[in-house]
């Protein structure tokens, strides 16, 4: 399995990662190495095997549908790079 520079550009767009033109060749080579390592899995017969859902074979716990958290917007927004009147600011979305 090998990834072309075009594949990598597409992945970067999907993952929202800007990659410089000088990085693409090295990244394609390294990702191809990783996919070759992972490719060993394809040879394993897994017919009839259920995919693991939980390492301890336990179901996901449910909790009562009750409000437990209190509003702490100011506390959380203290970490935000840019806020105004309690709103997060981002670059223009609609032209």
Partner 1 sequence: MLKRAMHEKTLTELSDALAAKQISARELTEHYLGRIEQLDADLNAFVTVTAEQALAQANAADERRAGGTATALTGIPIAHKDIFCTTGIKTSCGSRMLDNFVSPYNASIVAKLEDAGVVMLGKTNMDEFAMGSSNETSFYGPVRNPWDLERVPGGSSGGSAAAVAAGLCGGATGTDTGGSIRQPAALTGLTGLKPTYGRASRYGMIAFASSLDQAGTLTRSAADAALLMQTMAGFDANDSTSLADPVPDYVTEIESPWEKLRIGVPENFFDDGLDAENAAAVRASLDVFEKLGATIKSVQLEHVHLSVPVYYVVAPAEASSNLSRYDGVRFGHRAEGADDLIEFYMRTRAEGFGAEVKRRILTGTYVLSAGYYDAYYLQAQKARQLIAEDFKRAFADVDLIAGPTTPTPAFPIGQKVGDPIEMYLNDIYTIGANLAGLPAMSIPCGFVSGLPVGLQLIAPHLAEGRLLKAAHHFQLHTDWHRQVPEAYA
**List 22, 65, 71, 82, residue binding partner 1 (CB under 8 A):** 82
Q: How far is residue 64 CA from its own chain's centroid?
A: 29
Q: Does 66 bind partner 1 (CB under 8 A)?
A: no
Q: Does 67 bind partner 1 (CB under 8 A)?
A: no
Task: Using alpha carbons, list the distances in angstroms from residue 78 to 32, 68, 81, 86, 87.
Answer: 41, 22, 8, 10, 12
Q: Does 59 bind partner 1 (CB under 8 A)?
A: no
Angle ∠(40,43,49) on CA atoms, nearest 5: 110
Q: Which two tokens stand for residue 89?
A: 């600011």
Q: Does 71 bind partner 1 (CB under 8 A)?
A: no
Residues contributing to the site for partner 1 (CB under 8 A): 3, 8, 11-12, 14-19, 27, 30-31, 33-35, 37-42, 44, 46, 49-52, 54-56, 58, 60-61, 63, 72, 75-82, 88, 90-93
């Amino acid at each position: 399995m090998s990834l072309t520079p075009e594949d990598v550009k597409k992945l970067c767009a999907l993952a929202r990662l800007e990659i410089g033109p000088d990085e693409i060749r090295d990244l394609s080579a390294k990702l191809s190495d990783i996919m070759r390592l992972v490719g060993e899995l394809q040879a394993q017969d897994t017919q009839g095997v259920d995919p693991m859902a939980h390492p301890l074979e336990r179901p996901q716990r449910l909790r009562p549908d009750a409000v437990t958290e209190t509003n702490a917007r100011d506390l959380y927004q203290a970490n935000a790079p840019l806020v105004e009147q309690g709103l997060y600011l981002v670059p223009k979305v609609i032209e």
